[in-house]
Amino acid sequence: MNATRTTAAPGRREVVATASTSLEARRRALKARRLRRGWAALGLVVPAAFFYVVFVLRPLALTVQYSLYDWNGVGASTFVGVDNYTRLVEQPELLGSTVNALELIIYFSFVPVILGLLTAATIRKFAASRLALAARTVLFLPQVIPLVAAGIMWTWLLATDGLVNELMRMLGLGSVTRAWLGDTSTALGAVGVIGAWVALGLCLLLLLSGMTKIDPALYEAARIDGAGAVREFFAITLPSVRQEIGVCVTVTVIAALAAFDIVYISTQGGPANSTLVPGLEIYYLGFFSREVGQASALAVVFMVLVLAVVLPIQRLTKEED
Amino acid sequence: MSRSTGRNAAAATSLFLASILALTACSAPGADSTADDAADDGATTAADGDWTCGTDDVTLDAYLETGFPLSAALFEEFEKQYPNVTFDVREDQFAVITQNAPRVLADNPPDLMRLPQMSDLVGDGLLYNLDEAAAHFGWDEWPASQLAQMRVDDEGRRGDGPLYAMGKNYSMTGVFYNTELAEQIGITEPPATLAELDDMMQKAKDAGITPSDQFNGGATGGLAFPLQLLMASYGSVDPINDWTFQKPGARIDTEDNIKAAEHLKKWIDAGYFADDINSLDYSQMMGRFIDGKSLLIFNGDWESGNLDTQMAGKAGFFLMPPLEEGGKVGAMSAPLTFGISSKAENPECAAFFFDWIATNDEARTIAVEIGGSHPMGPADAFMPEVDADSVTGQTLAAGATIADDNGAMEFIANATGAIYAKSWTPNLQKLAAGEQTAEGLLTAVQADYENDVNG
């Protein structure tokens, strides 16, 4: 950006200098040119801005507006001020699903980031080999499978007569087999496993690309100093991919908090609300209970919560730059 | 340079803000929407309508539930008899129809639509008032119970008031059982009392057969089926209907109903349902039953035709038995409801089609043979010959018993728009998981019901 500006500036000065004699005329020409450039830039920005406003900002503004009304989505509405927000405080069960979303962070974010780090650190050493390419492809595969398909596939795998339980029976673990998605004590964890499986590929790829950029001389120097693989990992690899970890954590935390598709396909929030997440709660409130105002208020509160969780992560990684 | 950047930024910001303000220009949502007009339209019908499909070409827009071949068969026959009529059909899952209903009725008004819980829709003036049609066609002379569930009064309560929907047929629930598995455990006759049903399930369990693969997973609390049937065995169906129709002061946590819920809990504790009941969906239940993996399921006669095809000679049907032999029986029984949008283009032709389904011999034959349920219409209307030993034959005979006993109940899941997904289902799943008591289940549902009705 800066480079373009400095190279463009002298050129412009030259043109202006040859075209006019007086200082005033030169200033006016400069101004006119800047204005033309401004309008051209605006012309390029406007179409994108239009779509952004219509499809992002407008729904956002409307959600905030709806949250102040008692409205069933079709009939006449009543302005109720912040009543929908106070109800969220008075009826804590409406926010109960948030606890599940926070628990999902462990599965959707921590597990794939840690596993991704370990796998990437292992693959890094033979990153150029075919084996690493194969491993990368296999582990990245879940990313390209639509979440709905992943949900359906895992529903079969985790069923009582599914592959997971069959394998456990073969290993003599028949006593622990169960309907993983149908048991209130294991359903959330089972949904978490699906999420971890999906997110692992993205984290692995991001972290691996970060690791391949590390100067090999660093590792050589560490080795000469007598560092082992563990020391190398903590002293060189980990600090070098801090930014990539930041991106991974941000993306996966948002995926955990905003989870909808995997949960909807695999459990629909059941059994007994044990996998109910805010995304589903908003959907049920809006479309089944037809409390559009209440659903919008929960959506707004939830958006603030996501920002409150994600912004510190962003800041943390920025400070380290 | 920085000044021009600042100006551009300011211009862009102003543009954004101006656009947002323009786009969300603050009028109250829904205030000037179709609702008010629709309410007016919905309150009146064409008094001097000709109530036919005429002779000009007519296209009826239909929005249906996917997976039921009955409608397609009826449309085909109607198009054959009335060549000027064509059906333009759109199909969706019932859950999708439920969530889309208000918007579809308001924005893209169909002439015929499969309806979810309908009192909210009437409240918003989205449904066509069929009183004039009922008077014209003589539907008022049919047994009143057939239409009661589709009447909605000014307060949004069902059971009374103007008619806002019609049924394609009326269905009924009970118990389907695998006759081969029953014979294996020494049972050749359907149980006559609840105790005999308990015994039947215990014998199956002892023989290593899953007594019931009832669905109860995801957002579908299928244990509501046996629970409501047990309620009818323990008490009268009237208080249950009062509750479903939102009669003031009606309660679901009555003494009789608590006993029924305790009976269901006894079945759960005895291990009569599959271990993975809380992850079983409807299609898995049907798959396992048809494959002969469980002795019985609590389900409705809409599966009769299907079971006659897929389990020919191996399936039977009985009503939930009473406490004492010969006692009164009850069943969830409801019309397969269809409505007309208050803004539909061809309401008269659609109403004519409803009348045709109930009165035309071919249509009634289709309703029985493909729909597996009893057609709507006058009590003495034509009925096709059905093999009495087939599942369809057995469910039709059971329907007559329910009519004699006046034991029809609307499904407790339809009491309010959200009660099934938000209250019955999670609480029934908790009951199955051992995290809820029988009484606690009904108390929790009653609390949610009051919240829905008053809130």
Phi and psi at residue B436, to the nearest 5°: -145, 145
Size of interface A-B (CB pairs under 8 A): 157
Query: Cβ of B98 under 8 Å from any chain A Cβ?
Result: yes
Say which range, A132-146, A269-283, B258-272, has the weakest mean pLDDT.
Answer: A132-146
Beta bridge partner(s), residue B299: B174
Residue from B422, B289, B118, B107 nearest A269 by CA? B422
Which residues in chain B are closer than 8 Å to A75, comparing Cβ atoms? Answer: 30, 33, 35, 123-125
Alpha-carbon distance of B322 to B354, in angstroms, equals 35
Alpha-carbon distance of B122 to B126, in angstroms, equals 6
The answer to whether the CB atoms of A179 and B98 lie below 8 A apart is: no
Alpha-carbon distance of B72 to B371, in angstroms, equals 11
Tell me the C-alpha to C-alpha distance, in Å, between residue A246 and each of A120, A124, A206. Answer: 16, 19, 10
* CATH fourth-level superfamily of B2-170+338-347: Periplasmic binding protein-like II (3.40.190.10)
- B110 cis-preceded (ω within 30 degrees of 0): no
Query: Cβ of A40 under 8 Å from any chain B Cβ?
Result: no
Q: Write down the residue that tokens 């004039």 correspond to.
A: B132
- pLDDT(B31) > 70: no
pLDDT for res B340: 96
Taking CA atoms, what residue in B is nearest to A76? B31
Q: Which residue has the higher pLDDT, B229 or B9?
A: B229
The answer to whether the CB atoms of B126 and A74 lie below 8 A apart is: yes
The answer to whether the CB atoms of B12 and A54 lie below 8 A apart is: no
**Segment A257-261 mean pLDDT:** 91
The pLDDT tens digits of the residues spanning B411-436 come to: 999 888 788 888 999 999 999 999 99
Query: Cβ of A183 under 8 Å from any chain B Cβ?
Result: yes
Residues A21-33, buried b or exposed e (16+ Cβ, 10 A)? eeeeeeeeeeeee
The pLDDT tens digits of the residues spanning B290-303 come to: 999 999 999 999 89
The answer to whether the CB atoms of B417 and A77 lie below 8 A apart is: no
Helices in B207-328 by DSSP H: which ranges?
A: 224-234, 238-244, 255-269, 282-290, 304-310
CB A292 within 8 Å of CB B417: no
Tokens of B256: 């009789």
Residue in A78, A159, A290 closest to B417 by CB: A290
Residue from B387, B399, B370, B363 nearest B305 by CA? B370
- pLDDT(A166) > 60: yes
pLDDT for res B145: 79
Q: Write down the residue that tokens 């002969």 correspond to.
A: B292
- pLDDT(B39) > 90: no
Which residues in chain B are closer than 8 Å to A66, comparing Cβ atoms? Answer: 29
- On average, the pLDDT of chain A sits at 86
Kind and range of the H or E run holding B63: strand B58-65
Alpha-carbon distance of A251 to A108, in angstroms, equals 10
Alpha-carbon distance of A163 to A153, in angstroms, equals 11
The pLDDT tens digits of the residues spanning B363-395 come to: 999 999 888 888 998 878 898 988 989 999 999
pLDDT for res B9: 57
pLDDT for res B393: 93
Query: What pairing do the DSSP bridges indicate for beta strands B315-318 and B166-178?
Result: antiparallel
Q: What distance lies between CA A189 and its chain's CA centroid?
A: 20
Taking CA atoms, what residue in A is nearest to B428? A272
- pLDDT(B18) > 70: no
Tell me the C-alpha to C-alpha distance, in Å, between residue B455 and each of A24, A72, A79, A87, B356. Answer: 71, 12, 15, 12, 40
Amino acid of residue B380: D
Q: Which of B276, B343, B416, B425 to probe the A interface (max A CBs under 10 A)?
A: B276
pLDDT for res A8: 44
Tell me the C-alpha to C-alpha distance, in Å, between residue A16 and each of A5, A6, A9, A30, A37. Answer: 16, 16, 11, 7, 15
Split at pLDDT 50, 70, 90, the class of A22 is confident
Q: Write down the residue that tokens 């590929």 correspond to.
A: A201
Class of domain B172-333: alpha beta
User: CA torsion angle for A63, A69, A72, A78 (degrees, to 10)?
Assistant: -150
Angle between helices A292-319 and A242-257 (to 10 degrees): 170
Residue in B31, B219, B276 closest to A160 by CB: B276
Residue in A159, A273, A292 closest to B426 by CB: A273
Query: Cβ of B447 under 8 Å from any chain A Cβ?
Result: no
Query: Cβ of A30 under 8 Å from any chain B Cβ?
Result: no
Range(s) within chain B of domains with CATH label 3.40.190.10: 2-170+338-347, 172-333
Alpha-carbon distance of B114 to B334, in angstroms, equals 13
Write out the E strands in B66-157: 85-92, 112-114, 151-152
Q: Write down the residue that tokens 């039953």 correspond to.
A: B289
Taking CA atoms, what residue in A is nearest to B422? A284
The pLDDT tens digits of the residues spanning B323-361 come to: 999 998 999 988 889 999 999 999 999 999 999 999 999
Which residues in chain B are closer than 8 Å to A71, comparing Cβ atoms? Answer: 29-30
Which residues in chain A are closer than 8 Å to B23, comparing Cβ atoms? Answer: 53-54, 58, 61
The answer to whether the CB atoms of B275 and A160 lie below 8 A apart is: yes
**Segment A69-86 mean pLDDT:** 90
The answer to whether the CB atoms of B106 and A159 lie below 8 A apart is: no
Alpha-carbon distance of A178 to A189, in angstroms, equals 13
Taking CA atoms, what residue in B is nearest to A281? B422
